[in-house]
Structure 1
């Protein structure tokens, strides 16, 4: 990975304006929330989101949480039912993430949602995070600002220790008061705890007037990113294709002649950014049989191949 200069931004108007400009240019900026430091990118920029996955060494396209400035701002990206709106009014800003239906015109990168039709979204309860969101004036996707599998950071120094030379900047806003990630809840078909976190589940249950279902219950929604069918185009998929059979449409990678190419230069970050959009394009083309060029199975290639293997898996039903 190319070494980048990691700047430190002060949590004042000047520093946050600089950090917001970096985000607007597709950069990666760590910032404090009440839970942990998040590694933020413009949630609408697929290239930036793909770079975030590479920077974290994240093994797959796990859906990301999008941070917004207010409930009103969230309304532009997701559809609220009565329960979700009541929870947002009760606990936002705060350590509650809601998983809600994505609006068709939301403009969120499909890498953020892992191609799903839902979005995880919250309003952070931290002055610096709120000021950065105001300065950026847009949705910020932000998982924890640490290499995948390591301890989440609650101080700017934690971020600097692991991410210097990898990300573009760190907003030093002091210690995170909550120190554990947000609680994640889906409200349909019933209120369901997808991840325990900084807001106690009991408080949520009291607010909705019923016990929460647990992720994995038969009548509860599956946690984001677990269903293979979410990644499958309408046509059948054949992987590691070096020759094209009659009737197949090639999804290329590298120096191959293809109507759609994830990255002619063989750049895995570019390929990751284009993957979900390419699958949507194949549907729009009416491709009944899809051949996919071999893709290296390292770095982001492992995540790309994971999604493609799910797309190629036999369909149920």
Structure 2
């Protein structure tokens, strides 16, 4: 299959009426799969009501079909057509944060979605993206669009059209290039079916921000306890992994250097993913910069790009320091742990 690449200007008025967006929207309605930018990462979209179309998402990604997908829509008014009930907390959160990088889980309305979208669950995750290209495509397509991240399953999520082409060229119908994404991490996923919102996946909309609106929030125990089964889309299987084994170091810069030295003594070439401030303070075989330690949002923005860049390094292992789990730091560490397969090194691993 030939994959079309459409390059669009996100600042054009009436973007949904441009030839590129109209062609991509027509392909979506015809049952094809299209990658497009959102404010979080690039998504891989298909008509959420068409099982044959949704099946193409799983085939392209190599993703197990028992993993639910997030449904993207252009207008909050469409939610009532898709879910059984918009709960009071759901209404509050939609008014506060949508459009934006947050997904809401409600009880699904029967007979609307392909069963592949919800993976047999009685709930569905709905998101209203704020990216102008995503909005234009959804408005032009006029169908709910199921869209996980547009990467091969297990790989770091894509934050540019080139990342998508690297993974999926020849496997999907087209990619809309709307430049780099903004936040760089997938949306916060919140279960809104009860009286208190439950964060199933952390993202750029933080627990503290949700508390300011609702007054209380619960964080899913599965985010801390690996024995719990995650209930959020995209959280069940190994994700975000670079080609080289990644180890997280829970400690100081000096401890990180000690592990670099230990791996070197074992004959390994070592790469380090570091912040701008620490780049010159570490002696390793290769270095990649990942944002600033004074701005966690810059780390979130560049996280996946840094993991992808590490694939071309001539190294045997990768190391990265841990980050404070406050605000967006919780989402950063959630993704890093998954990328590392929960390999976290402490001082006891060095000297024990």
Q: Partner residue of 2:231?
A: 223
Kindly indicate whether residue 91 of structure 2 is the aligned counterpart of residue 91 of structure 1.
no
Q: Secondary structure at the match of 2:81?
A: coil
Partner of 1:207: 213
Check if 1:148 corresponds to 2:142: no
Match of 1:40 in 2: 45
TM-score (norm 2): 0.60
The alpha carbon displacement at 1:215 in A equals 4.0
**CA RMSD of superposed structures (Å):** 2.1
Does the residue aligned with 1:39 lie in a helix, a strand or coil? strand
Say which of 5, 8, 15 aligns to 2:5. 8
Post-superposition offset of 1:91: 0.3
C-alpha displacement at 1:22, in angstroms? 0.8
How far apart are the structure 2 equivalents of 1:75 and 1:93?
16
What corresponds to 2:121 in structure 1? 116
Displacement of 1:97 in angstroms is 0.4
Within 1, Cα distance between the matches of 2:80 and 2:41? 24
> What is the aligned partner in structure 1 of residue 243 from structure 2?
none
Paired residue for 2:200? 194
Partner of 1:40: helix, strand, or coil? Answer: strand
C-alpha distance in structure 2 between counterparts of 1:215 and 1:120, whole Å? 19
Map 1:98-113; keep pairs closer than 5 Å.
98-105=104-111, 107-113=112-118
Q: Name the CA shift for 1:158/1:222 in 2 (closer, same or farther; >3 Å).
A: closer
Query: Offset of 1:25 from its aligned partner?
Result: 1.2
What CA distance in whole angstroms lies between the structure 1 residues aligned with 2:64 and 2:231? 17
Q: How far apart in 2 are the matches of 1:128 and 1:91?
A: 19
The C-alpha deviation readout for 1:78-102, integer Å capped at 9, x for no partner, is 1201100110010000011011011
Cα distance in 2, alignment partners of residues 145 and 26 from structure 1: 17
Alignment of 1:302-317 (within 5 A): none
Gapped runs of 5+ residues in structure 2?
Answer: 9-14, 234-352
Who is 2:143 aligned against? 138
Distance 2:192 2:217 in 1: 12
8 Å CA contact 2:70–2:125 kept in 1: the answer is: yes
Q: Which has the higher contact order (CA 8 A, sep 6+)?
A: 1
- Following superposition, which runs of at least 4 residues in structure 1 exceed 3 angstroms of deviation? none
Count, aligned residues: 221
Q: Any conservation in 1 of the 2:65–2:119 contact (CA below 8 Å)?
A: no
Deviations 1:257-299 (A, max 9, x none): xxxxxxxxxxxxxxxxxxxxxxxxxxxxxxxxxxxxxxxxxxx
Name which of 54, 64, 80 aligns with 2:86: 80
Aligned-partner Cα distance in 2 for 1:116–1:122 = 17
